[in-house]
Each structure stands twice: as structure tokens, then as C-alpha cells.
């Protein structure tokens, strides 16, 4: 089974936000820069994760993103179920042997087992090496510095 890019981005966003210290906020621009992902795609993912309660968005000056609930309350299975459209591994609806074939039952059982394993792990489990993740993210600058850098990139001058 291969997960969609949308799910990949959703997990990356949650990992990035979850790797921050409690009370520290992330921005879409920061996450897009770290992963080299389109800001437009991330905005859609972030909006969806916010509506689902995985993220909380703080608006206004000094705003940003934080986890909507504790990392140990978010299972990987919940994220995947939310972001994936369907889990049918094969479409048997037009197959002439479908009424007598056992393959759909086997594939459904395999999918259920896959999701059951993902339900055993939380975002906190994936974040267990938080310090290593932070290092790979290049450390975290305060959001104010990130906003200043993005503004400088857009405006083309030092706004500090």
C-alpha cells in the first residue's frame, strides 16, 4: 500500500510542529522551507488538519501552528484514516469472478491489519528522538526571525 503525497505532507507538518517546544509556534513558510514543499499545498493540508483538530492555528502577529492535542493522543492510524480517501486495494466491482472470489476479503483483512499497526503508534512515538529531529530541521529560530526572513525575501531588503 502506498500513501498519498497529501498524507505524507500531513505527517510532515505534524512532526515539524510536534518537534517544537511546548508553547512554541511553527509557520507554514518555515515548514515549506525545511521540506522544500509548496506553501500553497501546505496551506490546504494545514487547513484540513486544523478543521480535524490535529492542529490549532493562532492568527495574527506572533501567530502560527501548534498541535491541536497532545502528541500522545494522536495515532498515526488516525492521521492516515483522515487523509486517505479510501483503502480499496483493488476494484472488483466489474470483475466477472467477484461473486466467487475470496481476494477482496483477504485484501480487506490485510488493510485492517495495516491500520491496526498504525493505531499502535502515536505521534509522540515518532517524535521520541525530538532533539535529533530538531537538528535535522536546522534547529528552530524564533518565529519572529522566520517572519523577518520571509519578509526580506519577498521585499528584498532588510526589515530588521
- 34-91 pLDDT tens trace: 899 999 999 999 999 999 999 999 888 888 999 999 999 999 999 999 999 888 888 8
CA distances from 101 to 1, 12, 15, 97, 128 (A): 21, 39, 41, 6, 43
pLDDT tens digit string along 97-134?
988 999 989 999 999 999 999 999 999 999 988 777 77
> pTM of the full predicted structure?
0.80
Amino acid at each position: 500500500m502506498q500513501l498519498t503525497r497529501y498524507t505524507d505532507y500531513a505527517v510532515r507538518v505534524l512532526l515539524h510542529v510536534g518537534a517544537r517546544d511546548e508553547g512554541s509556534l511553527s509557520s507554514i513558510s518555515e515548514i515549506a522551507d525545511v521540506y522544500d514543499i509548496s506553501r500553497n499545498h501546505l496551506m490546504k493540508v494545514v487547513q484540513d488538519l486544523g478543521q480535524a483538530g490535529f492542529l490549532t492555528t493562532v492568527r495574527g502577529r506572533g501567530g502560527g501552528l501548534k498541535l491541536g492535542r497532545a502528541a500522545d493522543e494522536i495515532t498515526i492510524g488516525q492521521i492516515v484514516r483522515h487523509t486517505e480517501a479510501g483503502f480499496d486495494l483493488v476494484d472488483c466491482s466489474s470483475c466477472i469472478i467477484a461473486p466467487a472470489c475470496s481476494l477482496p476479503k483477504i485484501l480487506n483483512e490485510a488493510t485492517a491489519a495495516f491500520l491496526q499497526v498504525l493505531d499502535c503508534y502515536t505521534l509522540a512515538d515518532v517524535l521520541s528522538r525530538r532533539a535529533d529531529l530538531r537538528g535535522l530541521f536546522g534547529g528552530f529560530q524564533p518565529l519572529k526571525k522566520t517572519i523577518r526572513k520571509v519578509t526580506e525575501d519577498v521585499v528584498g531588503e532588510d526589515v530588521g
